Structure formats: structure tokens, C-alpha cells
């Protein structure tokens, strides 16, 4: 057993899986959570030589959050990766309301609830580092990704506000804000992103580089990181130009081809 513990949500694939691996390689035992019936990442991570405890829970539900929290509430946690989140494509008025509600509950409610509890826990202990996976999507309106971008805008803003509150605290809070990254988020059937130009684009960022940038920023106690020059440029332009311009650019990548006129 290692003397350090990292907790990672959304750890089954994508950035969460890589962040968990980086923490393990850095000598942290792991508690990982995902909503899949089997967290295949656990087998890979155990091979690194650390303890890996996996939990299957739907964090979009209050029961899922409470079940997971009971598993970690009494542990001394050094690193917390608030990474769980899902996207939702297609036009807002065509989306199923239950799917919209699920994304808001998962991306906003559960992240806020766990961040509140983990922040209180770490402040009481006087130590800890937290990484929240936001997005550059939080800087721009997201036609055909409207709910996802809005939830990420909330997370980006929440983290930067809390950073100011925690300025003199030994607990650090870092926001990882990637651009489009080559992860399963574009190919999950429930996300409805498969039929979009960005899903097949070769311009998406390398998830290994994105996760490493986030982990490095976390361990240095940085406030935030936007990996990749393209994403950095996009965030700078979003603050300088009228909102309808970045919205139009986003629309070109996110509008499903099936929605185009024949």
C-alpha cells in the first residue's frame, strides 16, 4: 500500500483513465469511479503496482453520489480528479429532456457536490490538490453542444471563483480546459456526437498530452491550463471578438451532417 491516495471520477476511459495512470505512476494508490458495469482500467492500473479500488456508480444520481462518497469519506485523500462528465449533441429542441437533465446533473450537480465535500475535507486536513476537468467550450456558445458548453462554462467559472476564495489555503484547485481531444466522448452512442465533422477530424488533441499537461499543472498548484496552441488561441479570440463569431465556428464542427439539407 502506498502512503498517498488519489481519487478519480470518470476513470474508465479518456482523460480520466490517463490521469489515474499518471497518479499511479507517481506512487498513489487509487480509488476510481465510473458508470460502466466493469472498469477495465482497473486491471491496467493494478499492473503498475499500486492498490486500485474501483466503484461503479451513476454520479448523475443522488444515490450514486452518496454511495461513492461513503466509500471515500473517511479516507485521507491527497489528489482528487473531478473528471466525470458527458456531452450531448444535436439541436437543443430535438434532444430528449431526460438526456438533457442527465448531463446537467452529472456535469454540474455532482461535480459541485463532490467539490464542496472534498474541499471541506481537504481544508479540515490542511492539505490536498484538486483537478477539475473543464473545457475551452466554456468560453464560447456551443450551437449543437449548447448544454455541454453551458455546463463547462459553469465549471470553469466555479473553479476560478473558488481559487480566489482559497488563495491563502494549502489546498490547491486547478482547472484543466482542453479543446477537442481524441477520446471516446465523440463516439459514445448516448452522446450523439458521432455524426459531426469534429468527430472525424484529425485536428483533435492527443489525450496523453492533454492529461499530462493537466497533471503537471495540478502538481505545480497552477490555477488552470489550456493544452495546445490551437486551444490557447481559441480562448484568447473568444475574449476579443463578438460572440456570434466563435458560435459560428463551433457550429461548423458540431452540427450533425444528418441535419444539413439534402
Q: For each of the domains in the chain, give its residue range(s) and CATH number, in order of start.
A: 4-259 (3.40.50.720)
What digits encode the pLDDT tens for the residues 86-131?
Answer: 988 889 999 999 999 999 999 999 999 999 999 999 999 999 999 9
CA distance 186 to 194: 6
User: Within 10 A of 189 (CB to CB), how many other CB atoms are there?
Assistant: 7
248 close to 201: Cβ distance less than 8 angstroms: no
What predicted TM-score, i.e. pTM, was given to this entire model?
Answer: 0.89
What digits encode the pLDDT tens for the residues 166-198?
Answer: 999 999 999 999 988 887 776 676 666 666 766
Name the band, by pLDDT with cuts 50, 70 and 90, for residue 231.
Answer: low
> Does 159 have pLDDT greater than 80?
yes
Q: What is the DSSP letter of 18?
A: H
79 close to 125: Cβ distance less than 8 angstroms: no
> Does 134 have pLDDT greater than 90?
yes
Q: What is the pLDDT of residue 140?
A: 83
pLDDT-wise least confident of 13-17, 188-192, 254-258: 188-192
pLDDT-wise least confident of 17-26, 100-109, 142-151, 184-193: 184-193
pLDDT-wise least confident of 154-158, 173-177, 210-214, 246-250: 246-250
User: Could you give the percent of the chain with pLDDT greater than 90?
Assistant: 60
Average pLDDT, the chain: 86
28-34/79-82 β-pairing? unpaired
Q: What is the pLDDT of residue 68?
A: 96
Q: What is the CA radius of gyration of the chain?
A: 18
Amino acid at each position: 500500500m502506498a502512503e498517498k491516495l488519489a481519487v478519480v471520477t470518470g476513470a474508465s476511459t479518456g482523460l480520466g483513465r490517463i490521469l489515474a495512470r499518471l497518479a499511479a505512476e507517481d506512487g498513489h494508490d487509487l480509488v476510481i469511479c465510473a458508470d460502466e458495469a466493469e472498469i477495465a482500467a482497473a486491471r491496467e492500473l493494478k499492473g503498475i503496482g499500486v492498490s486500485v479500488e474501483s466503484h461503479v456508480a451513476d454520479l448523475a444520481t443522488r444515490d450514486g453520489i452518496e454511495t461513492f462518497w461513503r466509500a471515500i469519506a473517511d479516507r485521507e485523500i491527497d489528489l482528487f480528479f473531478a473528471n466525470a462528465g458527458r456531452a450531448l449533441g444535436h439541436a437543443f429542441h430535438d434532444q430528449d429532456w431526460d438526456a438533457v437533465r442527465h448531463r446537467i446533473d452529472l456535469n454540474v450537480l455532482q461535480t459541485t457536490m463532490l467539490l464542496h465535500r472534498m474541499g471541506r475535507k481537504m481544508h479540515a486536513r490542511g492539505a490536498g490538490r484538486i483537478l477539475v476537468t473543464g473545457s475551452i467550450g466554456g468560453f464560447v456558445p456551443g450551437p449543437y453542444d449548447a448544454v455541454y458548453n453551458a455546463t463547462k462554462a459553469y465549471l470553469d467559472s466555479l473553479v476560478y471563483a473558488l481559487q480566489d476564495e482559497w488563495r491563502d489555503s494549502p489546498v490547491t484547485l486547478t482547472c484543466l480546459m482542453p479543446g477537442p481531444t481524441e477520446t471516446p466522448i465523440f463516439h459514445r452512442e448516448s452522446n450523439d456526437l458521432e455524426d459531426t465533422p469534429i468527430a472525424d477530424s484529425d485536428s483533435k488533441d492527443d489525450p496523453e498530452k492533454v492529461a499530462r499537461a493537466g497533471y503537471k499543472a495540478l502538481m505545480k498548484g497552477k490555477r488552470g491550463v489550456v493544452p495546445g496552441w490551437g486551444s490557447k488561441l481559441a480562448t484568447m479570440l473568444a475574449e476579443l471578438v463578438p460572440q456570434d463569431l466563435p458560435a459560428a465556428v463551433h457550429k461548423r464542427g458540431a452540427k450533425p451532417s444528418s441535419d444539413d439539407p439534402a
